[in-house]
Every structure is written in structure tokens, then in C-alpha cells.
Structure 1
């Protein structure tokens, strides 16, 4: 891969990506620079990760690849400053939620851009990143993008930008849905007599094992669910209640609400 990458934003995702890029040996620490205005944070990142740090965004002029990992509400100022220094051949990757390709170009005047949506399991190198590139991004640069995102999980390129909004609703927000369902299961266990610790252990291991089974099995989710469900058994009793309460429809409505909000945000920023 081309060396020399600059990550703008030293927050959780900025640090997560940096650690993953180093662990996967996608980049050497000496090839990574984090740009942030919070000097104590930069000092800490430099000490722990042995990377380069800077508070001067103009350093992007020396980079082959730039990743923007700041809050969407800070995007306009950051992108306009970045646009003054970025070179024409550099690759610009955004992980900012709701910031469209057109907005990236509007504020940076730069064409070689990628819009992406990662998720928080990237902290464990188990993330899911969905991305789209402009036509100006070269084949080699796309391969670099795949390697970067594969450093902290799995990646998927899409060809329609609206699918980034769908991905935001499914995988971007998905961990929160899983955590919410975990809360409901833990609470149900407690109401039926388990301690919080016992119920939490059961739920954590059940989710972990089920996720691994879904990932590694040749069966799809429907088949796996059917294999656990005996007619007139305990699982069947619970699923009948879920169906009678139209849980599937309610989940779809929630996902659609997230999708519509993602579209709305892309019009704001």
C-alpha cells in the first residue's frame, strides 16, 4: 500500500482505526499521523501508539490518504480547511455519518473521495464498514480502501449512495439494537428469578454463541431458527408471542425510521 496516512480526529474511532491499522500491519506507526486540536490527547496517542501527531491540518499536503473522523457537526470547517491543502491525487475517506459525497466535494473541491459507515465493533477488529467511492477513485486506491477497512473487520463496497443510509440503519445503528435486545433478555431473566449477574452471563454467552453460529454455519438465519424451534415447545411458545405482537413489523418500522433519519441528516450536513 502507499504509505503516509493522515487521520483527522483523535477520538474513539480515530484511535480504533489507528490501532487496527498497526495491528494488521497495514501501516507502520511511522507512516500514520493523527491531527487533532486537543494537545493532551495527541500527547497520549503518541506515547501509547508511537505514531506521529499534529495540530496543523495542512499536514495533509504530505499524505497519500486522508481519513476524516470528526463529528458531522464539525465537518464544514474541517473540510474547508482540508480542501486548502489536500493534493489532487490524494484519497479522501470520510467516516462521518450523514455527510454525502456531494457535501465532501462542495467543501473540499476534491474528487477522489470515499464515503463510509463503520460501526463500533471495529474497536475489537470485528466491525462492518460499508462504503462508496466516486468515479475518480482509482482501482489501486479502492484496493487500499479495502485493506484499510479490512484492518478492523469486514467491508462492503456499494454502488448507490442511498445504500449508505440503509447501512447506517442496519449495521451502523445495529449494535445498539443488539444491546437493547440484550437489556430486554436480561430484564426478563431477572423478573423470572435470576440474579442480574446470572442473567447477564446467560445473555452474553447466548448472543456470542449464536452470532458465531450464524457466521460460521452454512445455514441461514431462518433455517437456524427452525432447528431450535420444536413444535409446541418452549421456543415455539415465545416465538408465537413475538409473532402475535408483530415484532418483525415493529423492527422494520424502527429500521425504516433510522434510514429516513440518515437521509434527513445527509440533507443537513
Structure 2
């Protein structure tokens, strides 16, 4: 399985990070997770492109996670790639219907399947487990196993840090987690690095690499400080995600195994 971080930013632009979006690929299957502003451009820079994505899966319906969805739909219609599945938490069918209410000329232009999902489900060749997380609206974390098997990938969505979520990611080769602000920002619905580090340390979970994402402008120039703060609690492999970064999960596992054997 491969994961490409298309957008690692947030609702406030940094000038060099798009809003949230990830491309998850396994074999011939490709899944776009979230579709915030700028994600369509980032997707077109990949070999898959916007035309060959099999499905879109939303973690929740905040604008910085869905604002390129209508743009994606129109681009696919114009390109003739009219078949697509859009899935997400309850209310996703209403969200898509609202897009067509606003852009009436787009109605019936595509062969869309729209699904509200919860619990465990299959989508675009992936087996997916969901978990409700702690955010200001209903939001899911997702655990992905690809068609080729192998270690899972887990994405937190937008959430505070808590041990049950870390344990949901047990066994993941890569765990991408919201870390929106440094420690000196008083925030709810998102974690600071010390809060995340505490949850990672307290949980009973075996994790591979952790990537920090959903980064507000407040984090710029403070990455080392934030990594040190996580490291005060948790001694695992933690890195910052960047737009355009592609991670192959088997390679991440191999690297972790080499690191453990040499320590």
C-alpha cells in the first residue's frame, strides 16, 4: 500500500500546504481520502491523477476537507470519467445533494454512487474500519487494509488525542495524526504535541511511523520544538508530513525493523 499526502494544511492557508487530502493506493485500487482546497491540483501531480481515483472517502464535512469535492466532480465530468463513489459519515448523501442543489447544471452529469458509512465496510478494494473521534462535528478515523493485504494505514481525521484512538491504530505501519498547533496554543478539537505524545505513550499499541498533519500556520518554524515535545512522552518514530510525500508501507515496516534490530 502507498499513501501520498496531497494536502497537510488546515482551514488557514500557509502559502505552501494545501488543505487535507490523501491518496491511498493498493494494487490497481486508488482511494482519495478528504478533498480540501488545492487537493485537486495535488492529485493531478500524481501518476493516478483525478480521473483514475476509484472513490472519495470523507472523514467529516468541514470545508477544509470537502471544498474541492464539487471541483473534482466537474473536472471528472469534463474528462469523461463520470463513474465515481463518494462515501463518508452519515450526512454525506445530504452533502452531495446540496452540491447539486447549488450547481444545478451538474445534476445527472455523473454516474455517482453516494454512501453514508459507519463501522466496517469495503470501498474501492479496501477493507476499512471506522472510529468516531473527538471533534466539533461527527468525524471518523479510518483504518485501511489494501487488496494486496499487508500492514494497515490509519488516519485520525480531525480530533483531539486520546488513547482509544491510538489503540485503534495498533499494528499500523503508518499512523497519520492531526497535530494542528504547538503547545502554547489553547485549543480544543485538535491536539498539541504534548497531548499527542501523552496519548501515544499511554496507549497499549504497537505503531510503526507516526506522521503529523493538519498543520495550522502557527506550526511554521516550530517543527523541531514540536517533535521534542512529542518526544518528551513518546520515543517512537514521529515525523512531519509534507505535501507530495509518498510513503510505501512495506518500506516503512522494513525501516522500522532495521532500526529495532540495531538499537
Which bracket does the TM-score occupy, shorter chain normalised?
0.3 to 0.5
Give the number of the structure whose residues are more often helix, by fraction.
1
TM-score with structure 2 length normalisation? Answer: 0.33
Q: Which has the higher contact order (CA 8 A, sep 6+)?
A: 2
Structure 1 or 2, whichever has the larger Rg, is 1
Give the number of the structure whose residues are more often strand, by fraction.
2
